[in-house]
Amino acid sequence: MKIAVKTIYTDISLLYKNLLHWNISKVIIFLWWILLWVVAIIPFAILFYIYSFSSWVPFGDFTNSLLNSVYMTDLLWNFIYVLSLWAYTLSYFFTFILFIKLSNWYLEWNKIEFIKNEYLNYKLYFRYLKLTLLNLIIFLVPVLLFILILSISIIALWWIEEVSLMVVSSRTNAFSVLSLILFVILLIKLYYLFYRFVFSYFLLLEENEKSTSIVWLLKKSFHKTIWFKKFIVFTISLILVWLAYLPFSIISTYINWNYSDLEGYYWYLSLKEEDRATLKGINTYYYEWLEEKYAWKDITNIESMQTRYYIFSILYKIFEFIFIFGVYTMFLTSFYKRNIFTDEVNLEQKS
């Protein structure tokens, strides 16, 4: 166990030994993501544009919805909007495949050459889409089972109205305890499923040139992760990597919370006295806490603090991108290479 964890940390250090190449690669990968997203979103933009001629909703709402994540009132518009978000999400998570590819090269003591365009393969992209959709279907099974059991529990305990009253009137009751237990079981199950199928993406890269089916890749991933000991090693290693990242996560959360509080307080100070009193009456605790935190600083001071936090937030995001982003992918790649792929190679050599 100790050797496995040490090996993973040694592999992660390869990223920092190739820091310049690693960050140039990250920028190129994100540029590919933007290109993929634009290409994927074009069909939906055309649908929006065509539909805007026969609808009272202007085409400008499409851009507003995408940039600000705002849903619209028209049902068909929302349907197309959700599909466009899916296209965006699937294009974004394709970067995960590219980061695996990059990490694999580092583990083989090699580097991807920028001018050879090793980052994008359209055949690989479409196979990735098929595999992801299959994984999502499997991922939804425990979620739907959770909803089903919870629905049966509602009917079994009481009618929906009475359960609602029970939940509102009491913080601790049979329904809330049962739902919490079911939710924890769901999270554990989803985490375990993630562990079982995440390595199918590594197999996807290995089998890209072969005529292997997507279902076979998923089955092989489940077969490779069948041993519980590997799952324990994976979980402990993940926790240790997460603990190493925790201080940076705390700093990021602290910056975001303070900036959000400053925005809320700035908006609060800009209101008229009577509007402030009304707002304070609605959420007394929050605004009293803001007044105490910022000690009745005026708008000028708050604006200055907002600017400083905004600049600090940008600088910290740049720091995270340079030194943190991509570490978890290397962790997964290292675990796959050292604990899953190696075991299969050893078995093949013995046979």
| Separation of alpha carbons 272 and 278, rounded Å | 10
Cα separation of the two ends of the chain:
26
| Separation of alpha carbons 183 and 150, rounded Å | 9
Boundary of a domain, candidates 79, 99, 120 = 120
Q: Specify whether 5 is located in the same domain as 116.
A: yes
| Separation of alpha carbons 341 and 334, rounded Å | 10
| Separation of alpha carbons 53 and 51, rounded Å | 5
Boundary of a domain, candidates 120, 149, 173 = 120
Q: Are 112 and 345 a contacting pair, CB within 8 Å?
A: no
Asked if the model's pLDDT at residue 48 lies above 80, the reply is no
Asked if the model's pLDDT at residue 132 lies above 70, the reply is yes
Q: Specify whether 347 is located in the same domain as 238.
A: yes
pLDDT confidence tier of residue 347, bands split at 50, 70 and 90? very low
Output the pLDDT for position 155: 67
Q: Are 200 and 132 a contacting pair, CB within 8 Å?
A: no
Residue 131's domain comprises 121-226
Q: Specify whether 240 is located in the same domain as 299.
A: yes
Average pLDDT over residues 47-70: 61
Q: Specify whether 116 is located in the same domain as 126.
A: no
Any idea of the CA torsion for 75, 79, 81, 84, to the nearest 10 degrees?
A: -170
| Separation of alpha carbons 208 and 127, rounded Å | 8
Q: Specify whether 43 is located in the same domain as 138.
A: no
Q: Specify whether 14 is located in the same domain as 73.
A: yes
Average pLDDT over residues 56-68: 58
Helix (H, G, I), strand (E, B) or coil at 73: coil
| Separation of alpha carbons 261 and 273, rounded Å | 19
Boundary of a domain, candidates 120, 136, 167 = 120
Residue type, 35: L
Average pLDDT over residues 185-211: 84
| Secondary structure (DSSP) of 213-272 | -HHHHHHHHHHHT--HHHHHHHHHHHHHHHHHHHHHHHHHHHHHHHHHHHHHHHHHHTS-
| Secondary structure (DSSP) of 41-52 | HHHHHHHHHHHH
Which stretches of 46-187 are assigned E, i.e. beta strand? Answer: none
Average pLDDT over residues 20-33: 89
pLDDT tens across 310-342, in order? 898 899 999 999 999 999 999 999 988 888 766
| Separation of alpha carbons 13 and 135, rounded Å | 31
Which residue's structure tokens are 């009751």? 173
Q: Specify whether 17 is located in the same domain as 56.
A: yes
Q: Specify whether 330 is located in the same domain as 268.
A: yes
| Secondary structure (DSSP) of 125-138 | HHHHHHHHHHHHHH
- Mean pLDDT is highest, among 19-33, 116-130, 150-164, for 19-33
Q: Specify whether 198 is located in the same domain as 142.
A: yes
* DSSP-derived secondary structure letter, 184: H
**Helical (H) or strand (E) element with 113:** none
| Separation of alpha carbons 32 and 120, rounded Å | 8
| Separation of alpha carbons 88 and 36, rounded Å | 8
Output the pLDDT for position 345: 47
Output the pLDDT for position 351: 42
Number of domains in the chain: 3
Q: Specify whether 8 is located in the same domain as 51.
A: yes
Output the pLDDT for position 167: 52
Output the pLDDT for position 29: 86
Output the pLDDT for position 143: 85
* Whether the model pTM is above 0.95: no
- Burial code (b: 16+ CB inside 10 Å, e: under 16) for 313-334 equals eeebeeeeeeeebbebbbbbbb
Q: Specify whether 273 is located in the same domain as 214.
A: no
| Separation of alpha carbons 17 and 3, rounded Å | 21
Output the pLDDT for position 105: 87
Q: Specify whether 76 is located in the same domain as 130.
A: no
Asked if the model's pLDDT at residue 127 lies above 60, the reply is yes
